[in-house]
Amino acid sequence: REAYKIGDEKKLLQLLSENESDAETFRLKQRNNTWAEKLVWFPEKRIFVAVGALHLVGKENILELMQKRGFTMNKIQLKKPMN
């Protein structure tokens, strides 16, 4: 939880690799690809999408997939940590 609160991507990636089975990792990548396919159809120039922390790290993460499709992605950092 602390890694999520402070945005520690390395720690999140470590937790992902330690705690997920190959099947869970496959499902995560599959969901990321499904999201990316749907998000390209939004007509707005700017959209806000909230996802779980594990969708933002590792191979085929949602940021990487959207950048490959020509999108500019910005991570929003909270000014003060969540409780």
User: In this predicted model, which residue has the larger pLDDT, 10 or 30?
Assistant: 30
Report, as an integer, the average pLDDT of 12-41: 82
* Global pTM exceeds 0.75: no
Q: Which burial class, exposed, middle or buried, applies to 63 when counting CB atoms under 10 A from its CB (0-12, 13-18, 19+)?
A: middle
- Tokens coding 43: 């007509």
Residue 5: pLDDT band by 50, 70, 90 thresholds?
low
Report, as an integer, the average pLDDT of 14-28: 76
Question: Taking 90 as the threshold, does the pLDDT of residue 72 lie above it?
Answer: no
- Tokens coding 76: 């929003």
- Tokens coding 20: 């997920």
Residue 83: pLDDT band by 50, 70, 90 thresholds?
low
Total count of residues recorded for the chain = 83
